[in-house]
């Protein structure tokens, strides 16, 4: 009863979190109002401005020194210490991104405003752009950026929500992954939402099922890469288990990712293991022709050896029969010798009548 009263007065934990974030939406809207005065090229130049500001902040806060220390620890195989250092590097960069977050989100919202009414070609079909982020989407975007799960009601435009944190984190230059449930959605969203990123001067890639390694590498080198959890997972396994050289790897690292339909991907589909398999470099026909003469030669040699050993066994068995005029001095030693010879023949017993 007390808990119910407290919840009514102060709200649930989720309500309290939303109240903290809500002022951010007003701040973003103020920046966006200012951006409306700029030309398209001036808005596009904001991306380079953000990147320059991020780099300046990195230098001031010792980011590069921390990153170098993390690489050094990794090269010395000091894994646990390297993880701690990598975490410090990530936290420094996230602090920097948090400072420009309102302006970056405003840039995305303003790009959506400028695209309003234009036709975007999505999977070969023209689709009119009619989306500008509402406050609830701005709040959802902040939730995703800060590592939370954002549950959006039907019609609240969760696909558009992801563009805000994706753009912000892509400014760091390490690449951002957006994980979808199937190839169609990955291709659709990379073209549909890609219109916003491209308007702001970023590159967009998409990983699909039958792409060659060189094509995949190009897609991963983009600022933003869409794909399914299976494709990202398989590429990671191939890079870390099958690639013999750095040049054969396709992924360039893992910095920031957003999972669409998180309940499906991290719960339902997570129960399906990823199993790597691929075509053999040499076909069975080639291997058969190559090894058949060697196997036949080995079989004939084995057959000759076994027949010789069996002949020796037959001669020794005659000595065990007193009626044959044999009177061995040590029957136990003779039986042991026969047993050892038969043991040597044992592997070939199915192919030898004797």
Residue 91 φ/ψ, nearest 5 degrees: -65, -40
Mean pLDDT over residues 55-82, rounded?
Answer: 90
Report the pLDDT value the prediction gives residue 27, as an integer from 0 to 100.
95
pLDDT at 10: 52
The Cα angle at residue 91 between residues 78 and 74, in degrees rounded to 5: 15
Q: What are phi and psi of 224, to 5 degrees?
A: -135, 135
pLDDT of 61 reads 93
pLDDT given at position 302: 85
The predicted structure's pLDDT at residue 325: 57
pLDDT on residue 350:
60
Give residue 307's pLDDT.
84
Give the pLDDT band of residue 139 (cuts 50, 70, 90): very high
Output the average pLDDT for the chain: 87
pLDDT at 207: 97
**Range with lowest mean pLDDT among 103-107, 129-133, 172-176, 317-321:** 317-321
Cα separation, 3 vs 276, in Å, equals 51
The CA distance from 57 to 97, in Å, is 10
Quote the pLDDT of residue 245.
86
Q: Is the pLDDT of residue 4 over 70?
A: no
pLDDT at 149: 86
Mean pLDDT to the nearest integer, 196-203: 97
> Would the pLDDT of 7 be above 60?
no
pLDDT band at 2 (very low <50, low <70, confident <90, very high): low
pLDDT given for residue 11 in this prediction:
60
Nearest C-alpha neighbor of 63 from the set 93, 22, 28, 24: 93
As a whole-number percent, the residues of the chain with pLDDT over 70 amount to 90
Q: Assess whether pLDDT exceeds 60 at residue 110.
A: yes
Question: Lowest-pLDDT range, 138-152, 188-202, 261-275, 291-305?
Answer: 261-275
42-46, 73-77, 227-231: segment of lowest average pLDDT: 73-77
SS3 119: strand
Indicate if the pLDDT at residue 247 is higher than 90: no
Q: In degrees rounded to 5, what are phi and psi of residue 255?
A: -115, -55
Specify the length of the chain in residues.
Answer: 354
Nearest to 114 by CA among 171, 169, 39, 27: 39
Element (H, E) at 322: none
pLDDT at 318 (0 to 100): 77
């Amino acid at each position: 009863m007390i808990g119910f009263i407290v919840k009514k007065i102060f709200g649930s934990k989720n309500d309290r979190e939303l109240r903290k974030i809500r002022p951010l939406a007003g701040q973003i809207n103020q920046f966006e109002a200012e951006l409306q005065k700029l030309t398209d090229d001036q808005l596009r130049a904001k991306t380079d401005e953000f990147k320059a500001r991020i780099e300046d902040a990195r230098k001031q806060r010792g980011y590069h020194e921390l990153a170098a220390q993390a690489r050094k620890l990794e090269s010395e195989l000091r894994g646990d210490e390297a993880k701690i250092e990598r975490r410090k590097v990530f936290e420094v960069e996230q602090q920097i991104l948090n400072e420009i977050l309102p302006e970056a989100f405003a840039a995305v919202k303003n790009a959506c405003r400028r695209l309003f009414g234009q036709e975007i070609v999505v999977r070969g079909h023209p689709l009119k752009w009619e989306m500008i982020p509402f406050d609830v989407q701005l709040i959802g975007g902040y939730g995703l950026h800060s590592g939370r799960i954002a549950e959006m009601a039907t019609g609240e435009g969760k696909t558009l929500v992801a563009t805000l944190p994706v753009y912000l984190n892509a400014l760091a230059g390490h690449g951002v992954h957006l994980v979808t449930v199937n190839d169609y959605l990955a291709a659709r969203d990379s073209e549909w939402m890609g219109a916003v990123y491209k308007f702001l001067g970023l590159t967009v890639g998409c990983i699909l099922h039958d792409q060659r390694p060189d094509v995949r590498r190009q897609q991963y080198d983009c600022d933003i890469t869409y794909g399914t959890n299976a494709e990202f997972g398989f590429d990671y396994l191939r890079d870390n288990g099958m690639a013999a050289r750095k040049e054969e790897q396709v992924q360039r690292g893992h910095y920031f990712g957003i999972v669409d339909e998180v309940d499906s991907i991290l719960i339902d589909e997570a129960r399906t293991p990823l199993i790597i398999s691929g075509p053999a470099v040499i076909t069975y026909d080639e291997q058969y022709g190559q090894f058949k003469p060697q196997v036949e030669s080995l079989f004939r040699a084995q057959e000759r050896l076994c027949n010789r050993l069996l002949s020796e066994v037959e001669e020794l068995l005659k000595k065990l029969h007193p009626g044959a005029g044999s009177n061995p001095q040590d029957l136990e030693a003779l039986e042991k010798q026969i047993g050892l010879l038969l043991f040597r023949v044992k592997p070939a017993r199915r192919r030898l009548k004797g």
